[in-house]
């Protein structure tokens, strides 16, 4: 494993990222205080994580492929170059080839994890109902990520936010045998494209509060039997499926439904619509990728939510934008002076305007 110490943080972040694009070398840059360390290779993410402190450190992953650490048990920030590439700007995606497993308990107090701009197989919060209260996960923020599978919670978590993410499967609160369900304390989804949100526990002793705002739900939700008195709240969403009993739906488009199901409250909704009636391009698919090409999913002007912005992922205060907040290099040049004593570096980068 190569390890490079760099004193100029800006040069480190930009130059190493562009080196990956040109030479196909995956790099992970660890920032700890005023020290920056760069690791190279498919195991670079693992090495950077192992070297990180328990709190506050930042790991930046270049475009390329990485193996994930066995467990994430540190309150750190992990940033990638995004889950989409752009061949016109020589930008490739950051992909973690496996599951990201956040593992509370085991004597670890995890409070504050941010993950942005990566593509991975699935993300799982490990544990069980025996995880001590003072070791449960708090403050998980996932932004602009693509999960090829699901986001799964096996233990109680507090204050979890997903924004502008694409999850091809479900966001679920259950164990692998589908018989044990967990509750979640404050799950918020903003401007995400997902299959469903289900199997979070609600009963007389465990209550899950879940808010889904400006999202696209692209397959049937659970039938309500998993959540009992489910208190799911949907605002300004496109819903292609059922809403759990006990939920609230406001300002949403309900595909192929003429009314809300029993024991579901709501107002300002659009009923009886086909997908082609809703999307601005007239297509009949709510899939984000169509023939491997991103699909806009913008709605026609007539579909306005309760916040007076478009229903779906392009409305609200976090409109859909998969490009991460990390600057992305568009041009990188180096030249050496005639006396071989000076290295001249020229960098051009796009800085996204919508974090």
Q: What is the pLDDT of residue 12?
A: 47
Q: What is the pLDDT of residue 10?
A: 39
Return the number of other C-beta atoms located less than 10 Å from residue 227's C-beta. Answer: 27
Q: What is the pLDDT of residue 37?
A: 94
Give the mean pLDDT per block of 10 residues along the chain (355 residues).
41 48 76 93 97 96 95 96 73 90 87 97 87 89 96 92 95 69 89 87 71 87 43 90 83 92 90 94 90 88 98 97 75 68 64 58
Report the alpha-carbon distance of residue 290 to residue 194 in Å, rounded. 15
Q: What is the pLDDT of residue 92?
A: 79
Contacts of 88 (CB under 8 A, 6+ apart): none
Beta-bridge partners for 273: 255
Report the alpha-carbon distance of residue 218 to residue 88 in Å, rounded. 30
Q: What is the pLDDT of residue 134?
A: 85
Which own/partner contact pairs does 253-259 have at CB distance under 8 Å and 24+ positions apart?
253/278, 253/299, 253/303, 253/311, 253/312
Widest CA span in the chain: 80
Contacts of 240 (CB under 8 A, 6+ apart): 216, 217, 218, 219, 220, 255, 256, 275, 286
Radius of gyration of the chain from its Cα atoms, rounded to whole angstroms: 22
Classify residue 319 as exposed, middle or buried by CB count within 10 Å of its CB (0-12, 13-18, 19+): middle
Pairing of strands 216-217, 238-239: parallel
- Closest by CA position to 164, among listed 289, 286, 321, 299: 321
Contacts of 35 (CB under 8 A, 6+ apart): 5
Pairing of strands 328-336, 343-350: antiparallel
Q: What is the pLDDT of residue 227?
A: 40
Report the alpha-carbon distance of residue 64 to residue 27 in Å, rounded. 8
Q: What is the pLDDT of residue 174?
A: 75
- Closest by CA position to 121, among listed 168, 75, 78: 168
Cβ atoms 182, 203 nearer than 8 A: no
């Amino acid at each position: 494993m190569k390890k490079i110490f760099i004193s100029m943080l800006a040069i480190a972040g930009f130059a190493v990222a562009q080196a990956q694009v040109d030479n196909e070398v995956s790099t992970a840059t660890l920032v700890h205080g005023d020290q920056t360390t760069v690791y190279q290779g498919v195991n670079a993410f693992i090495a950077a994580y192992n070297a990180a402190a328990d709190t506050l450190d930042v790991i930046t992953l270049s475009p390329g492929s990485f193996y994930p650490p066995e467990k994430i048990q540190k309150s750190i920030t992990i940033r990638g170059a995004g889950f989409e590439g752009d061949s016109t700007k020589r930008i490739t995606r950051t992909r973690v080839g496996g599951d990201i497993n956040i593992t509370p308990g085991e004597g670890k107090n995890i409070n504050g994890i941010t993950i942005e701009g990566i593509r991975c197989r699935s993300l799982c919060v490990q544990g069980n109902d025996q995880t001590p209260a003072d070791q449960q996960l708090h403050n998980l923020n996932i932004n602009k990520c693509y999960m090829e599978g699901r986001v799964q919670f096996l233990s109680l978590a507090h204050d979890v936010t997903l924004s502008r993410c694409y999850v091809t499967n479900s966001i679920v609160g259950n164990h692998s045998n589908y018989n044990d369900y967990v509750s979640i304390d404050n799950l918020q989804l903003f401007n995400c494209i997902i299959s469903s949100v289900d199997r979070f526990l609600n009963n007389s002793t465990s209550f899950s509060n879940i808010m889904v705002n400006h999202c696209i739900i692209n397959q049937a939700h659970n039938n309500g039997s998993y959540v009992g008195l489910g208190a799911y709240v949907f605002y300004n969403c496109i819903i292609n499926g059922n809403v759990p009993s006990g939920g609230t739906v406001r300002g949403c488009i309900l595909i192929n439904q003429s009314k809300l199901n029993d024991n579901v409250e709501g107002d300002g909704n659009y009923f009886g619509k086909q997908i082609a009636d809703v999307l601005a391009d007239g297509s009949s698919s709510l899939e984000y990728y169509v023939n491997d090409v991103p699909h806009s999913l913008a709605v026609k002007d007539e579909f306005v939510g309760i916040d007076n912005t478009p229903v779906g992922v392009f409305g609200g205060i976090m409109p859909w934008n998969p490009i991460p907040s990390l600057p992305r290099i568009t041009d990188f040049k180096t030249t050496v002076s005639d006396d071989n004593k000076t290295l001249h570096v020229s960098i051009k980068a796009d800085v996204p305007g919508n974090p």
